[in-house]
Amino acid sequence: MSSLSVPQSVPTPAEDCDQLRKAFQGWGTNESLIISILAHRNSEQRKLIRQTYGETYGEDLLKVLERELSSDFERALLLWVLEPSERDAFLANEATKMLTSNNLILVEIACTRSSHELFLVRKAYHARFKRSLEEDVAYHTAGDFRKLLVPLVSSFRYEGDEVNMTLAKSEAKVLHDNILEKAYSHEEIIRILTTRSKAQLSATFNQYNNVFGNAINKDLKTDPNDEYLKLLRSSIKCLTYPERYFEKTLRLAINKTGTDEWALTRVVTTRAEVDMQRIKEEYRRRNSIPLDHAVAKDTSGDYEKMLLALIGHGNAQV
């Protein structure tokens, strides 16, 4: 699942900090040394490195990285060094701001994280921004977007595999009836999508397909330019097939005229320790080219090296 490559014998946090300190000193920053350490440590190890660096040198490692690095490489490394919940809180906050507003990122975080992970994101958001994620999402959205997004980011779904097939059949009909009436923001659609477990939703969507002859997302494509419908389809894809959602996000980030570095960086840094292997398989299946080859073709320098280290360049499918 994870594409992260961690050495069998890992130096102590103090040893890593000593090497990082050396990388920052002198006439030029040793970016290769920084990558060789931080891109090959898991989240717990990175947390200890950041903590040890602060205790040893009296400086927050993030502040040092911000000072020493620049551009897309800096953003990738800063996001990577943050704890997962801190990173998601930062990305969610960015997504609610006017100049960097992006409702799809809110959907990503709300629908592809576990209930406990999303709870930790809300907790980290409180700690960092002194406000709740829910209030910021509510304040910066309106209408149907607010109706969907606030309960999505507030949810705490059941994580088990148990499924009620009778319920799946009845709620598939509820979804179909409302979609048929073009009542896409009906409270019952919102209720089902924002409260049911992922296993229950998968069963409901399968029933929808079997009984009504169409995948639910196909029936939600009546207007491809409708931003709310796009958000609804993305929510469903994130809840049921996250690797397909992230493959498409990467494909659009890489293949469009001019790389979307923010999207590319976000997906690689948030999924490297989760399901990047599955995303790589899906990317290869969909595009007939390994993901690392596509990334190498579209990026350069230390930014390229960092991304390739995280997606497992040496383990690319051939």
Per residue in 259-314, pLDDT (tens digit) is: 899 999 999 999 999 999 999 999 999 999 999 999 999 999 999 999 999 999 75
Measure the CA–CA gap between 110 and 120, rounded to whole angstroms. 12
Identity of the amino acid at 104: L
Among 46, 51, 49, 37, smallest CA distance to 7 is for 37
Instruction: Please determine, for residue 316, whether its predicted confidence score (pLDDT) is greater than 80.
Output: no
| 4 in Cβ contact with 313 (< 8 Å) | no
| Residues 79-99: tens digit of each pLDDT | 999 999 999 999 999 999 988
163, 201 Cβ separation under 8 angstroms: no
Tokens 């910021």, located at residue: 136
**Residues 113-141: pLDDT tens digits?**
999 999 999 999 999 999 999 999 999 99
Sequence-distant (≥ 6) Cβ neighbours of residue 195 within 8 angstroms: 151, 155, 157
List, in order, residues 6 or more apart from 127 with CB less than 8 Å away: none
Assess contact for 168 and 216: CB atoms under 8 A: no
Mean pLDDT (whole number) for 66-71: 95
Give dist(CA 64, CA 26) in Å, integer: 14
How far is residue 218 from each of residues 160, 167, 179, 215, 224, measured CA to CA in Å?
Answer: 27, 22, 11, 5, 10
- In this structure, are residues 158 and 114 in contact, taking their beta carbons and an 8 Å threshold? no
Copy the structure tokens of residue 297.
């073709």
pTM of the entire structure? 0.95
